[in-house]
Amino acid sequence: MPSPSATRRTVGTVGRHAFLLGAVAIMILPVLWALAASFKTPGGIFDSNPLPSPATLDNYRVATRDFPVWRLLINTIVMAAGVTLLQLLIAVPAAYALVRFPPRAHRVLVALIVITLLVPPQSLIIPLFLTISHLGWRNTFPGLILPQLYGTGLAVILLRDHIRAVPSTVLGAAVLDGARPGEVLRLVLLPLLRPALGAVAILLFITAWNEYLWPSLAAPDIDHATIQPGLGAFLTQEGPEYGPLLAGSMLATLPIVAVYLLASRRVTDAFMHSGLR
Amino acid sequence: MANPSLIAGERGADHAPPVARLRDRARPWLYLAPLIIALVVWVYGPLVFTGVLSFMSWNLTAPHPSWLGTANYSRLLHEPQFPHAARNTLVYAVAMLPFATVVPMALAIALWKRPGRVSTVYRTLLFLPVVLAPVATAITWQFLLDPLSGLVNVVAGWFGVGAHNWLGDPSSALYSVLLITSVKVVALNVLLFGAALANLERGLLEAAALDGATEWEITRHIVLPHLRRTVVLLGMLSLVVVWPWIFANVAVLTQGGPSGSTDNVYYRLFTYAFTFFDAGTASAAAVVITGALALVLGLGLLVAGWRRRAIA
């Protein structure tokens, strides 16, 4: 006969699994519904039956043939990669300087960086929009990418914590061997920082990939648009095309899920060493 | 502990020749210059620009702005729409708090208590709602909440609840948008709480268990205190990060309606700017939003006694 405490533990385990299973099921239900519906016929999508019967690939054919989905995806990759790369190029030297040779005013500086994380992007869009319109940058990659550098502060804060975690004796030894700060950064720190850089890069890439508001203003032209606002095109051109829209969103979500599956540990790590401690 | 002499070596010793000392003094700024330029050009500059614009009258389709004084602000306050949107925004923010803190924390603790393959699968699945395209999320819920054939009403019917037009009824539209968005918030924050828990020493819990502490006592006295900072941080962060998600859902599903019930200050700002092309009023709205948010976050940090840590 099981002891009372063992019984209590079993009840606890069952309860925990029921709780997790229920919550996770509710949360991924919309994703599964969208996936199934992307294989439905135009009429079937209005059925209350969530499963596609009959299943068809028509939506994917329409999405890739009648709508420039590939074009949108390529635009999104270029934009997200550009934002990620530029933010890292700016953030790595800045974070390095803040940790290894902070200027006297570094507390104020860090406060000013943290504040930029808390400024709602919506309150910046009007000047940003006017600026790129004035420069003739609408529907161009500079117009899409450069204003998103407003988010560089996050990369700096995350990387700063990673650099702090590197034992200063390792870097100090390089200095004693006569390495200049630039060499310490390139030859000693960057190789040590590679996992962290990968994690932060993935985080920045996913954030840029899912960006909706700014690309919709900066590149409204369908040939220059990114996938997130571009999906809206399915809703306006001659009535809503729900099936192709969902097929297109699956194509938009897949690359990110692949990235996540390849590096899910690293994404979590990126936060582990951040201010969340 | 860092060896001071090694750090001094990198910063440059005080007895170095003047040119070298100057170079050492300038070096941090050289490394920081790209960041400072980026933040001035793309954050602080635009903020000032927004502030100036809020005192101007400028139709975005007209060539030039003209000085207006505080008329944009008084217009915001005296029109019924903006105060109404502000009240809705408060409801959104307060109702979202449990979905940013308690709910994902409970899920993350449950996942963390039994690490292993199953937890990894859960964690991977939870990433899906976070990355499902915003427009697709909104459209999917439009179908799920459809008053005639939507799955939600079908399931509600099993429990004897009559069909309801969730997004079309002013009394339920805001909470529908809120729940739709909360799925993403919960999913993301489970991952973030999980990251915070990964820093908690498991040996500590084993020791407590050996000393006869029950599961609940361990959670109550070790796990929850460990997560206190994370709760405060994610609660405040959610005040900033959920709006793009809410915005996409409102833009696709309700456009602020029915009868303004899902409107909020962010959607209002967007409407002023890009539906009415009224840059002045939109900028005034932006200033009010940023000011109010700064006040709330500042008070929050102060209350949590966090001010030093957050910027240290």
pLDDT one-digit tens code per residue, A28-52: 888 898 898 889 888 787 777 778 8
Q: Is A27 on the interface with B (CB under 8 A)?
A: yes
Q: Which long-range contacts (CB under 8 A, 24 or more apart) does B110-118 make?
A: B110/A16, B110/A19, B110/A20, B111/A20, B111/B190, B111/B194, B112/B194, B112/B197, B113/A16, B113/B215, B114/A13, B114/A16
Q: Does residue A277 belong to any structural domain of this protein? A: no
In a domain, B140, yes or no: yes
Task: Tell me: do A114 and A179 sit in the same domain.
Answer: yes
Using an 8 Å CB-CB cutoff, list chain A residues near B310: 114, 275
**A4 reaches B (C-beta below 8 A):** no
Tell me which residue in B132, B191, B243 faces A120 most closely, judged by beta carbons.
Answer: B243
Q: Are residues A101 and A21 in the same domain?
A: no
Whole-number Å distance between alpha carbons of B206 and A255: 40
3-state class (DSSP) for residue A160: helix
| A50 and A75, same domain (yes or no) | no
Q: Give the pLDDT confidence score for residue A83 in this predicted structure.
A: 97
B19 within domain boundaries: yes
For residues A49 and A81, membership in a common domain is answered with no
- Judge residue A227's burial from the number of C-beta atoms within 10 Å of its C-beta, 0-12 exposed, 13-18 middle, 19 or more buried: buried
Region of poorest pLDDT, from B10-14, B68-72, B213-217: B10-14
* Structural domain that includes position B22: 4-43
CA distance B20 to chain A (A): 12
Percent of chain B at pLDDT above 90? 21
CB atoms within 10 A of CB B248: 24
In this prediction, residue A225 carries a pLDDT of: 92
The answer to whether residues A44 and A76 belong to one domain is no
Nearest-by-CA chain A residue for B297: A118
* pLDDT at residue A16 in the model: 78
Claim to verify: residue A96 and residue A51 sit in the same structural domain = no
Instruction: Output the pLDDT for position A269.
Output: 58
* Whether B121 and B192 share a structural domain: yes
CB-nearest to A50 from B151, B192, B266 is: B151
pLDDT at B126: 82
A228 to B113: CB separation less than 8 angstroms, yes or no: no
The verdict on a CB contact (< 8 Å) between A94 and B139 is no
Question: What is the model's pTM?
Answer: 0.84
Residue of A nearest to B52 (CA): A127
Alpha-carbon distance of A249 to B68, in angstroms, equals 45
**Which domain does A51 fall in, by range?**
4-59
Domain count, chain A: 2
pLDDT of residue B198: 78
On average, the pLDDT of chain B sits at: 83
Can you give the pLDDT at residue A265? Answer: 64
B141 pLDDT exceeds 60?
Answer: yes
**Is the pLDDT reported for residue A27 higher than 80?**
yes
Q: Would the ipTM clear 0.90, i.e. be above it?
A: no
- Rounded Cα–Cα distance for residues A11 and A7 (Å): 6
- Running DSSP on this structure, what letter comes out for residue A184? I
Are B268 and B85 in contact by the 8 Å Cβ rule? The answer is: yes
Identify whether residues A125 and A106 lie together within a single domain.
yes
Residues A124 and A223 in one domain: yes
Q: Count how many pairs of residues, chain A against chain B, have C-beta atoms within 8 Å.
A: 294
pLDDT band at B221 (very low <50, low <70, confident <90, very high): confident
Mutate to test the interface with B, among A48, A59, A164, A268 (most CBs of B within 10 A): A48
> What whole-number distance in Å separates Cα of residue B129 and Cα of residue B189?
12
pLDDT over 80 (residue A11):
no
Q: How far is Cα A259 from Cα B135, in angstroms, rounded to an integer?
A: 21
**CB nearest A111 (choices: B289, B290, B311):** B311
| Radius of gyration of chain B, Cα coordinates, nearest whole angstrom | 25
% of residues, chain B, pLDDT over 70: 92
Give the gap in angstroms from C-alpha A231 to the nearest C-alpha of chain B: 7
Domain count, chain B: 2
Instruction: Assess whether A135 and A259 both reside in one domain.
Output: yes
Are residues A222 and A256 located together in one domain of the fold? Answer: yes
* For range B35-60, the mean pLDDT: 92
pLDDT, one tens digit per residue, over B63-114 is 778 888 888 899 888 888 889 999 999 999 999 999 999 999 999 888 888 7
User: Which candidate, B224, B212, B213, places its Cα nearest to that of B109?
Assistant: B224
Distance CA A18, CA B298 (A): 39
